[in-house]
Structure 1
Amino acid sequence: MSDQDKSVRKRLVFYIPGYDPFHPRRYRELYRKESALQSEISGYDIGLKPKQGKGPYGWHVSASIDGADVETEIEVLYWADLVKTSMNMGIAATYGVMTRTAWTYIGSGALWRLMRLRKGPVIAALYPVGFLLLQAFLAWLVAYGIAQLAQLLLSGPFAVMLGWAVGAGAAYGVLEWFRRKDNKFFAYYLMHDYAYSARTNGANPLELEKRMSDFVARISDALASDADEVLVVGHSSGAHLGVSVLADLVRAGRVRDSGPTLSFLTLGQVVPMVSFLPDAWRLRADLSFLASQETPFWVDVTAPGDGCAFALCDPVSVSGVAPADKSQPLVFSAAFTQTLSPERWNALKRRFFRLHFQYLCAFDRPKDYDYFQITAGPKTLIERYEGRPASKSRIETPVNRYNRVTP
């Protein structure tokens, strides 16, 4: 087949977000802003319009890149409602799940093995535990101080009781203040994120499995369309959801030789945070299965500058489930320190959560990774990256204690 025959004129993109409680319009506006900036830097034309096809939420992209006009429909595979529900708990319940989550990772030995891969995401996982404990300590100091003050100022048998009662109320106020300011601290958010998988020891919650079945059906419909490429993009926790969704799709025989090219792009993945848990049999089996398939072509992009991702860790190999005929994924770095200008890198390098979304943003000095050319350009993912060498510094050592793919 010639390059002209393989070129893309119509593409359907399915974006699977990470553990994110926000409305999908956040991703539309991010795409609008960053694609305009990247097109100005790279010299191509790209613009957004309202969604034209069916589906719950998305947007249409018209682009002219490398002399070719491409029409793309981007749809967000929505599971933010499940995230919101899982986060809907009070202060006491959050401290309860903190205890259970910490015990899950420490008691299973997963935490120590994860540290052998990358310390950044492990520190990110420990941060909410440490900060929530600090909040509790500060609240106790306030309660203790008020109780001691009451004993100095008041007399009688009820002084101690009154002091501690007022102190307890003040302590709750401190904890509630931190909870309401969590959009600045992210302690509750991250704690609920890690707890979501830990509560089932790495197995998918039933409500998530049902939603993933809906994703399979939606992508299956797209594979019966006249699109040239169907591209699935999984970011952060959405990467491991994408692995299982596509594994189910392929096993079900939904991929037709005469249909659109099926492609898979994972960005900033945190797969080991789940695959290293004892009961993540489903995910480990899907990783092993997908790694030996020719379709979809799978590219995994991370960057050492992203402290929230397992940068350059081959998610199949480090999980200990690489089959003998493993051929995927292609693992390489977005190389933030090289593809961002020194000024932008200095401005962003301490903004850890912002850097975790950099894969979806513009680069000052892009090399061969450009999110907007991948999602709106005239080449399929395999056409763009087939033959590209993987990063030499990638980590493939199997360190997972739990490598069984069946219960």
Structure 2
Amino acid sequence: MSSQRNQSQVRKRRVFYIPGYDPMPPRRYRELYRTESQAQARISGYEIAMAPKSAEGLFGWSVTSIQDGASVETEIEVLVWSDIVRDSMSASIPATYAQLAHTAWIYISTGALWRLMRLRKGPVIAALYPVAMLVSQLLVALAVVWASVVVAGWWGLFPGIAVAVALMLWFRKIDNRLFAYYLMHDYAYSAQLKGETPLKLKDRLAAFRKAIEAALISGVDEVLVVGHSSGAHLAVSVLADLIRDRAVPQQGAELSFLSLGQVVPMVSFLPNAQGLRSDLQFLSSSSAITWVDVSAPGDGCAFALCDPVAVTGVAGPEKRWPLVLSAAFTQTLLPERWKALRWRFFRLHFQYLCAFDKPGPYDYFRITAGPLTLKQRFLGRTPSRSRIETPVSKYTSVRP
């Protein structure tokens, strides 16, 4: 083990952030980090500042922070796959309804839906929401056609169809408020191959791996990979491949993995997810990494406090990761702020990347810009007593 790994203080760090299924440009994450880091610094009493990125990579920024008397330089890079997301969302309205039928059939026929409901009802309700919303929109449009025929006879059929089409196009236009199409595309993308990673995404993950591998020998003290939402299971696969191929040098940076608001079971419970299940099993027993999983029961879009390895049924006798912890929104946010955010489900799903009024052990900006490695920060920390570890998945096979 290198002397770097034994240092008590991080001076330089590389952070790689893998977003969830998000079609928006990565600059939104830069602005979010800028505003929320300043808010957290004011609350917690440390200094933090951002500047344009200086390291290689497509998109990111530099951070300088003084915390607990120590100065730390961090380079943050967003590992972009938003172009793949946008391409997968370009389906027409009829194609989206075909996706709905196909995705619903996969989750129902494989039994995955019922097993997911045994974990957390929140993310399952979130998964059923676009189905209910899109079916409701279709029924409203059909009702318009039926009413036109009732009022004007068959002469009203074509005008009714025209109004129904206009109505469906309007529903699609306002989806930035309803999120029905967006969520439908999200679940359809994960389920299209019954859990197998699409080829185009596999190629992108290989590029992510190269970037992380290069950072490990760049002279920094820690390389931290952050996977949010569906980005968490992508990070699992990238890091498992990296470690499996012995690409983590002995004389290099500390390798850390922080998964936030993960939805791993939505994929790992599907029949063709042998690759992901294998990666989960391998990563959970690796001594080459520190893996901390943070979620909160208040986040209805995540499988909160569900150990993704254990509930998938692939935990082996040598399992050591992840350390499952709660962000405890009800305790770390002021009552009035919690009340204001309680029903803003998508906003709460991003709270892990934001400032907390009463931060506990979890502080995103101390983790990404502070002087301690992820391992040091949570050394000796016991996992949440409310975590769920019961094996639930029907499919537990892993690839050879």
Q: TM-score range by the shorter chain?
A: over 0.9
Q: Residue 320 of structure 2 is aligned with which of 327, 331, 334? A: 327
Query: Does 2:308 align with 1:315?
Result: yes
Counterpart of 2:141?
Answer: 139
1:33-44 to 2 correspondence within 5 Å?
Answer: 33-44=35-46
1:178-327 to 2 correspondence within 5 Å?
Answer: 178-327=171-320
The one-letter amino acid paired with 2:28 is R
Counterpart of 2:364?
Answer: 371
Runs of 4+ in 1 over 4 A off after TM superposition: 1-4
Deviations 1:94-120 (A, max 9, x none): 000000000000000000000000000
What runs of 5+ residues in structure 1 fail to find an aligned partner?
A: 152-159
Counterpart of 1:59?
Answer: 61
The one-letter amino acid paired with 2:301 is C
The one-letter amino acid paired with 1:303 is A
> In structure 2, the residue corresponding to 1:225 is in which secondary structure?
coil
* Separation in 2, partners of 1:76, 1:212: 13
Question: How large is the RMSD of aligned CA atoms in angstroms?
Answer: 1.1
* Separation in 2, partners of 1:99, 1:118: 23
The change in CA–CA distance for 1:53 and 1:3 in structure 2 (over 3 A counts) is closer
* Separation in 2, partners of 1:52, 1:147: 65
> In structure 1, the residue corresponding to 2:7 is in which secondary structure?
helix
> In structure 2, the residue corresponding to 1:230 is in which secondary structure?
strand
Q: Residue 121 of structure 2 is aligned with which of 112, 119, 127? A: 119
* Separation in 1, partners of 2:275, 2:8: 34
Counterpart of 2:131?
Answer: 129
Counterpart of 1:12?
Answer: 14
Deviations 1:266-304 (A, max 9, x none): 000000000000000000000000000012100000000
Counterpart of 2:33?
Answer: 31
> In structure 2, the residue corresponding to 1:6 is in which secondary structure?
coil
The one-letter amino acid paired with 1:76 is V
The CA deviation at 1:33 is 0.5
Please say which of residues 135-144 and 228-237 is displaced more in the overlay: 135-144
Q: Residue 403 of structure 1 is aligned with which of 386, 396, 399? A: 396
Q: Residue 345 of structure 2 is aligned with which of 348, 352, 356? A: 352
* Separation in 2, partners of 1:87, 1:5: 46
The one-letter amino acid paired with 1:274 is V
* Separation in 2, partners of 1:64, 1:222: 23
The CA deviation at 1:370 is 0.2
Deviations 1:54-97 (A, max 9, x none): 10000000100110000000000000000000000110000000
The CA deviation at 1:367 is 0.7
* Separation in 2, partners of 1:216, 1:224: 13
Counterpart of 2:331?
Answer: 338
The CA deviation at 1:145 is 1.4
* Separation in 1, partners of 2:4, 2:87: 49
Query: Does 2:101 align with 1:99?
Result: yes
* Separation in 2, partners of 1:115, 1:257: 42
> In structure 1, the residue corresponding to 2:257 is in which secondary structure?
strand
Q: Is the 8 A contact 2:47 2:65 kept in 1?
A: yes
Counterpart of 2:24?
Answer: 22
Q: How many residues align?
A: 398
The one-letter amino acid paired with 2:137 is Q
* Separation in 1, partners of 2:25, 2:192: 25
The CA deviation at 1:323 is 0.9
* Separation in 2, partners of 1:174, 1:311: 37
* Separation in 1, partners of 2:79, 2:67: 26
* Separation in 2, partners of 1:5, 1:135: 58
The CA deviation at 1:2 is 11
Q: Is the 8 A contact 2:278 2:398 kept in 1?
A: yes
Counterpart of 2:71?
Answer: 69
The one-letter amino acid paired with 1:125 is A
* Separation in 2, partners of 1:361, 1:132: 31
* Separation in 1, partners of 2:376, 2:226: 17
Q: Is the 8 A contact 2:133 2:180 kept in 1?
A: yes
Q: Is the 8 A contact 2:106 2:191 kept in 1?
A: yes
The change in CA–CA distance for 1:359 and 1:190 in structure 2 (over 3 A counts) is same
The CA deviation at 1:148 is 2.0
> In structure 2, the residue corresponding to 1:397 is in which secondary structure?
coil
Q: Is the 8 A contact 2:5 2:252 kept in 1?
A: no
The CA deviation at 1:3 is 10
The change in CA–CA distance for 1:3 and 1:341 in structure 2 (over 3 A counts) is farther
Query: Does 2:86 align with 1:84?
Result: yes
The change in CA–CA distance for 1:396 and 1:94 in structure 2 (over 3 A counts) is same
Q: Is the 8 A contact 2:4 2:253 kept in 1?
A: no
Please say which of residues 99-108 and 168-177 is displaced more in the overlay: 168-177
* Separation in 1, partners of 2:184, 2:333: 30
- How many percent identity over aligned positions? 62
